[in-house]
Structure 1
């Protein structure tokens, strides 16, 4: 097991969203580190990707879960995403669908949805 405490985020590769998500998750869950799994438009990637692409994400989550002891996973979407250029409402729906898919993977983790808005602030999705 790794030193320190961890949570996990499946996030966009866009550098603008890394720091807000890391800061929010570290503060909210009082952890040392955020394992960041990135793709361009991760919601679309998870929902529309082929089996190999989805399994790649799942194996990275497994490393965070089994090797780092992460018990929280955030599925993140954001404003002005080049990899998945849809409006906030559609992005929120995709995040919720992605959470349902992640919950079938069998990890004992809290899975939540986050949206980074046009001001680079993190919003939770219910």
Structure 2
């Protein structure tokens, strides 16, 4: 087991959303580190990606949960995403659907949804 406590974020590769998600999760869950799994438009990949893309995310979740002891997994979408352009309502729906998929991949984890808005603030997506 790694030193320190961990949570996991499946986040966009867009650098603008990295720190808001990291800071929010560290504060909300009192963990030391966030394992960041990044994709261009992560909800698009979770919902409509190739089997290989989905398996890559799943294997990284396994490392985070099994080797780092992460118990919380966030899936995040954001305003102005180049990898998955969609309006906020569509993005929220995608995040909710992604939560269900990820929960099936990692049934013992708590899976949450996050949306990073146009002011780069984190909003919780209620399931």
Instruction: Give the TM-score band, short-chain normalised.
Output: over 0.9
The 5-angstrom pairing of residues 1-126 of structure 1 reads 1-126=1-126
The separation in 1 between residues aligned to 2:70 and 2:113, in whole angstroms, is: 16
Contact 1:64 1:70 survives alignment (8 Å):
yes
Deviation sequence 1:81-118 (CA, Å, 0-9, x none): 00001000000000111111111114411100000000
Q: Which runs of 5+ in 2 are unaligned?
A: none
**TM-score with structure 2 setting the length:** 0.98
* Runs of 4 or more above 6 Å deviation: none
Number of equivalenced pairs: 126
**TM-score with structure 1 setting the length:** 0.98
What is the aligned-residue RMSD (CA, Å)?
0.6
Deviation sequence 1:23-61 (CA, Å, 0-9, x none): 000000001000000000000011111111101000000
